[in-house]
Amino acid sequence: MDAAFDVSLVPPGLRRLDFDALAAEHGTPLFVYDEDALRSKMREYVAAFGPDAVTYAGKAFLCTAMVQLVGEEGLHLDVATGGELHVALRAGFPAARIVFHGNNKGDAELLAALRAGVGRIVADSHDELDRLERLGADVGVVPRVLVRVTPGVEAHTHEFIETGTEASKFGFTVSGGVARDAVQRVAASAGLDLVGLHCHIGSQIYVLDSYARAVEVLVTLVRELADRGVTVGELNLGGGLGARYLAEDPVLDVAEYAQVLQGAVREVSAGAGIAEPRIMVEPGRSIVAPAALTLYRVGTIKQIPGIGTYVAVDGGMSDNPRPVLYGAGYEAYLPARLDAPRDLECTIVGKHCEQGDIVVQGARLPADVAVGDLLATPATGAYGYSMASNYNKVPRPAVVFVRGGVARTVIRRETLDDLLRLDQP
């Protein structure tokens, strides 16, 4: 007999919901976020790093209501494209508190950012620095620039989401003096304002020491620059703190993460004899992943003799491509039978026309799971909706925020007609 589902994977505000009523009103699949969990994680970050030191990475999950929460909790907002910038600005987010990322920002995207008065642009290449000088002059502003640096450290995570190594497509390498030259160029340019350095070593990181090693490389660079008369005031250390997806995954403490980063910056700066730069961080996943679950309905159960059992739900890789992209694991449970032992080992699959369309590999469910049951996968708040697609013309799910037991729709479900709205017959 297998142990019951570990309910600590579900945020408190979602544990006692009437999921039948929720599904009846909003349909399935459905993304359900605990608004208090979102807010309390943002508060933990602000408490640990201080006001104005935390930037929410919008790529993890972005919509108007989320932008508003980020604003209300006093965080800055990281956008990675003109599209994310548009959503942020349309939601009324103050441009001065936006950090604009991207390894290949186009003229139109940069112009939109400069015209809006975006507070920080993270420059990723010499081409971009050329563009920023030219477009800044056209608009009549001096862009505030951070130079993105690849420190050459490994983050011990999936290779697709590891970005701090020298082979990364992002940023300027520290080795060979490439980053140093880029920073000197910005500092020397009358058309650019040097705000600081940026580095993001990767995502879903459990080994905090990886950050300490990145800090060492960065602060050494700050020292080198100081020797050449360039002062770096701000170090943005990116995001990446890992989230707990499976019962056996560690719970990473934001305060401890802050101590590692702050301690490393303090120690290495003192050793290098330079003034401590101020730190910013850019968490996405660790704020939103644990705050949500996805609610599905079981549609078919298929037992293949001698092979195993497929439990098929009404979504799949179109609402969560992470299993197929990164081999990511999730837990699953039946909200109506939360405490039941989970005797059945099965594969939870979606409804798409691909064998790789897996929701949970090696899932455990109560053996009496039946067609029509509601099934939930916790910890789906990051990079699920934001990477959702219409593959097989499946409409994207609705998203609700729950507070005090009450759900409000923040993104409506797509209709079949939405699937045709771009077609030009």
Give me the active site residues, please: 353
Nearer to ligand LLP, 199 or 334 (CB): 199
Nearer to ligand LLP, 205 or 369 (CB): 205
**Min separation Cβ 161 and ligand LLP, Å:** 5
Q: Do the beta carbons of residue 358 and residue 323 sit within 8 Å? A: yes
240 near ligand LLP, rule: CB under 6 A? yes
204 near ligand LLP, rule: CB under 6 A? yes
Q: What secondary structure, in 3-state letters, does the chain show?
A: CCCCCCHHHCCHHHCCCCHHHHHHHHCCCEEEEEHHHHHHHHHHHHHHHCCCCEEEEHHHCCCHHHHHHHHHCCCEEEECCHHHHHHHHHCCCCHHHEEECCCCCCHHHHHHHHHHCCCEEEECCHHHHHHHHHHHHHHCCCCEEEEEEECCCCCCCCHHHECCCCCCCCCEECHHHHHHHHHHHHHHCCCCEEEEEECCCECCECCCHHHHHHHHHHHHHHHHHHHCCCCCCEEECCCCECCCCCCCCCCCCHHHHHHHHHHHHHHHHHHHCCCCCEEEECCCHHHHHHHEEEEEEEEEEEEECCCEEEEEECCCCCCCCHHHHHCCCCCCECHHHCCCCCCEEEEEECCCCCCCCEEEEEEEECCCCCCCCEEEEECCCCCCHHHCCCHHHCCCCEEEEEECCEEEEEECCCCCHHHHCCCCC
**Min separation Cβ 295 and ligand LLP, Å:** 20
Residues 171-200 interacting with ligand LLP (rule: CB under 6 A): 200
Task: Please pick, from the candidates 150, 184, 203, 318, the single residue that binds ligand LLP as defined by CB under 6 A.
Answer: 203
**Min separation Cβ 131 and ligand LLP, Å:** 19
If binding means CB under 6 A, how many residues of this protein chain bind ligand LLP?
Answer: 21
Nearer to ligand LLP, 203 or 294 (CB): 203
136 near ligand LLP, rule: CB under 6 A? no
Site string for ligand LLP, 47-66 (x = CB under 6 A): ----------x-xx------
**Min separation Cβ 65 and ligand LLP, Å:** 19
282 near ligand LLP, rule: CB under 6 A? yes
**Min separation Cβ 3 and ligand LLP, Å:** 27
168 near ligand LLP, rule: CB under 6 A? no
102 near ligand LLP, rule: CB under 6 A? no
How many Cβ atoms from other residues are within 10 Å of residue 303's Cβ? Answer: 10
Site string for ligand LLP, 295-324 (x = CB under 6 A): ---------------------------x--
**CA–CA distance, 127 with 207 (Å, rounded to integer):** 34
268 near ligand LLP, rule: CB under 6 A? no
**Min separation Cβ 383 and ligand LLP, Å:** 3
Ramachandran sector of residue 240 (left: φ over 0; alpha: ψ -120 to 50; beta: rest): left
285 near ligand LLP, rule: CB under 6 A? yes
Nearer to ligand LLP, 101 or 364 (CB): 101
Of the candidate spans 34-42, 172-180, 239-247, 400-408, the one that interacts with ligand LLP by CB under 6 A turns out to be 239-247
**Min separation Cβ 366 and ligand LLP, Å:** 29
Nearer to ligand LLP, 326 or 391 (CB): 326
Give the CA-trace dihedral at 283, 104, 278, 87, to 10 degrees.
-50
Nearer to ligand LLP, 79 or 186 (CB): 79
161 near ligand LLP, rule: CB under 6 A? yes
Residue ranges binding ligand LLP (CB under 6 A): 57, 59-60, 78, 101, 161, 200, 203-204, 238-241, 282-286, 322, 326, 383
